[in-house]
Structure 1
Amino acid sequence: MINGDKKIEAEKTGTLYVVSTPIGNLEDITLRAIKTLKDVNLIAAENTTHTKRLCSHYEIGTRLTSYNQHNHKTVGPVLIERLKRGEDIAIVTCAGTPGISDPGALLIKMACENGICVTPIPGACAAIAALSVCGLKMDNFLFAGFLSNKSGKRKKELQELASEKRTIIFYEAPHRIIQFLEQLHEVFGNRDITVTRELTKLHEEVVRGHVKEILSILSQREPRGEYVIITEGMEKPQEEETMPEQLEEAIKKMLMEDMSIKDIADSVSKIHNIRFRSAYREVLDLKRKMEGA
């Protein structure tokens, strides 16, 4: 039931229920979510095949319709019209809470813009589940979700987040996880992170350590499942660090030996206790000077 002004609004139109579903283990669903899915006129599912299994398990006979990133422009307005006529609709994603890194957010926005009542049915969320076991600071965090699937743009997005003091939550697909961690190491340095996959499932895995350690572990196996990566924030504001003259000479020598910028910066940061990003920037500047000389 909706209280106050929202109750009056709900009597004019149907209600869009934003229903959280399990992220793996089918038992991770609330009694209210099951009741809502049974009572609504229609379930708008990101993946109908996936949602059919959930409905079958809990004997939910409500009709399903597909609503996803490929058809949201055509299906969205149709769902809004049905809501305007007084029908109740539940929106569900493949796993977790709709609207978080999925097209459900677009339908929710349309409903709000059309004066339709939107009600949350809370439950599982991969980001919060991963955060709860990460072992890093949890009192203040930033959800970044999926970054760009294009390497150059993704690196730029990481650079914009590098000075963030809060714990950061990322999502990544299995076929990009290694490249993501390589870029994370290049931009953020060797910070403490936690990587999770298959949470609540049989092969649940939580790996904690420095970026380079986890890269080494994951590089030795075939990546499977969606990943949640949680990285610690920058503890202190970044300060400019100057390189001793003799260190500059050593860097120039390594550059002349055709070592990569990343390898030189990694070596310098470890041996001389300098932040990786400061070392990387210095090596890059010296390389440019040498090329322009």
Structure 2
Amino acid sequence: MDYLKIYKEQYNYTWEAIKNNTLEALKLAKSNKSNFDTEFKNVLKGLNESQTKIIEEFKKTGLYSCYEIFEKRYSLIDNDLAFDEIISFVLSNQIKNEFIKQQNLDYELFIKKLAEQQSIDLTENHFRNYIQYYEFIYATGKLEYFYAKNFDRIGYQSSEEFKDMLKIRYPESTQNGGAILNVIEQDSDENSVSNKNKAPFDVVNTKDRIKNEFNIKERAILLHLLKNRLNLKEIVSTELIKLVLIIGSTDKFEIFNKEAHKSYLYKQVHKGYSVFKETEAKDKITSLKVKLENNGLKSIADELQFGFGSYFNNKK
């Protein structure tokens, strides 16, 4: 049986459904002159609740261990393999072997549920990282720019779509190279046309994976950890560099263009561990810890566990 095909078909089906449903919800909200922030938060809340429900189903049916193996796949399989090969291999071997232990019968159904959860999770992360982009779509009515996925190799601020919406939204300021254009993230040398053709496939994939794997709230937690707990002198250089790259792989640059307290990322960082709802905080922190360990940040993961444990005990 082609497990990868089953996974990808369900993943793409779920993504397409989220894309269409979200677009229709925003169209309706726009026609009703509803507030964008309120509507988009409802979208994010719905996605979060949907994937949480699936994870809870895994726990109730004894399949959470299979889900955990999938989450750890990059630490289990040779990272030189393509992403599809890694998924195919882990579904055909480690996860299947664990599934058989649980004496559950319908492995195909589990794969579909897993793919659905992963699709929801990554799309939710994308929406959180691209909030400003979708707010511009909402404000300008450029619904044809609604893609529900990241731009390839560039931040959305560097996309032609975003530049076009800037001109529509701020026509006077963008004439003759006006100041508003400074909100556009300029491409770095690595994103120049000449270097795009030279970028190794694995580097591009790794950059995209890291950007999608960690959501804005997880990055906020890591910034909170960096600010309040970590002794930088005690962190090995490789882990510190990885941590900085994870935190920095976001499109949230609005703090450069507005008062700090109005920045979304600033607000999330100052919430600390309460950035997550109390009922879901343990699972969210555990998931973040697994992601850190998968990417070779063991000491950071340990510090996260200790910091959250102290926070949780103080709340009792």
TM-score range, shorter chain: under 0.3
TM-score (norm 2): 0.26
Larger radius of gyration: 1
Determine which structure has the larger strand proportion and give its number.
1
Determine which structure has the larger helix proportion and give its number.
2
TM-score (norm 1): 0.27
